[in-house]
């Protein structure tokens, strides 16, 4: 997979993209990541990429010309263009799985008060990682890259790892334990020491359901709605 990131702050990516799983994937040439400084596509002597919003209001807005040029400099027919923005679709494991099948991702990182709306014509999907405000789109872009890269076949050492994690099944992950079996009066559940794989699987499913019901009941509601909507003969009103 090829990944191009368009940002005003490419230096922010140094470190997160040079460590752990992402570094290994880059070394193994399973992914190629290129960082593009948006200011390299501004042609005045001040390398201007923003201006005041039409109609007034606080802050500055990213101009269309540098963004169009930056995207068009790397876009191919196989590219999927993403914009990191609070007004985007809520990011999820399902979206990460969808993006992991792309050949080429281009990530646009916003900044200031927003991006000129005409840039939307370049974008295939807008993404928000949550209902909160960040300084710019660099951190969300890192989140997307990390979550997508680890789903590419061969990136993780254990081919089953992605399917065993939280959200892959639509539920939070069950509790995990390791040695020692007893620590400061806290014991590992007997079922995990039993060697009975069927019972362990049942216990893990039950614990995943209980944890999800307690912490993220919305996931259970969504899972039920998805199941109902896919039943034969079922229709849903909008």
Query: Is the confidence at residue 15, as pLDDT, over 80?
Result: yes
Instruction: Give the tens place of pLDDT for each residue, 205-217.
Output: 999 999 999 999 9
Mean pLDDT calculated for residue range 124-129: 97
H or E stretch at 3: strand 2-7
Diameter over CA atoms, the chain:
71
Same topology between domain 2-149 and domain 166-229: no
Do 140 and 108 contact (CB within 8 A), yes or no? no
Instruction: Give, in order, the Cα–Cα distances in Å from 13 to each of 109, 132, 139, 140, 147.
Output: 12, 21, 8, 11, 15
Of 91, 109, 97, nearest in space to 149 by CA: 97
Instruction: Check: CB of residue 37 under 8 Å from CB of residue 8.
Output: yes
- 166-229 topology per CATH: 1.10.1270
Looking at per-residue confidence, does 133 or 222 come out higher?
Answer: 133
237, two tokens = 């009103």
Rounded Cα distance between 113 and 103, Å, is: 31
pLDDT at 227: 54
Taking only the tens place, the pLDDT of each residue in 133-188 is 899 999 999 999 999 999 999 999 765 465 555 556 789 999 999 999 999 999 99
CA distance 71 to 4: 9
pLDDT value at residue 25:
96
The residues with which 163 forms a beta bridge, in sequence order, are none
List the domain boundaries for the chain: 2-149, 166-229
The domain 2-149 having CATH identifier 3.10.450.350: the answer here is no
Angle at 47 between CA 14 and CA 118, to 5 degrees: 90
Which tens digits make up the pLDDT trace of 81-108?
A: 999 999 999 999 999 999 999 999 999 9
């Amino acid at each position: 997979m090829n990944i191009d990131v368009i940002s005003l702050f490419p230096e922010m990516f140094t470190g997160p993209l040079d460590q752990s799983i992402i570094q290994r994937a880059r070394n193994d040439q399973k992914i190629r990541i290129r960082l593009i400084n948006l200011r390299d596509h501004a042609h005045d002597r001040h390398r201007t990429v923003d201006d005041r919003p039409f109609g007034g209001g606080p802050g500055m807005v990213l101009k269309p010309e540098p963004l169009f040029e930056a995207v068009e400099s790397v876009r191919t027919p196989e590219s999927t263009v993403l914009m990191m923005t609070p007004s985007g679709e809520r990011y999820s494991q399902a979206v990460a799985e969808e993006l992991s099948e792309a050949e080429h991702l281009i990530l646009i990182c916003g900044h200031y008060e927003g991006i000129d709306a005409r840039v939307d014509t370049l974008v295939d999907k807008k993404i928000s990682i949550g209902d909160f405000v960040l300084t710019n789109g660099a951190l969300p872009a890192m989140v997307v890259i990390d979550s997508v890269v680890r789903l590419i076949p061969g990136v993780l050492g254990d081919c089953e790892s992605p399917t065993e994690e939280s959200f892959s099944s639509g539920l939070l992950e069950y509790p995990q334990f390791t040695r020692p079996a007893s620590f400061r009066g806290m014991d590992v559940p007997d079922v995990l020491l039993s060697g009975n794989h069927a019972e362990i699987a049942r216990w893990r499913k039950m614990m995943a359901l209980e944890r999800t019901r307690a912490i993220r009941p919305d996931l259970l509601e969504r899972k039920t709605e998805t199941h109902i909507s896919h039943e034969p003969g079922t229709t849903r009103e909008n």
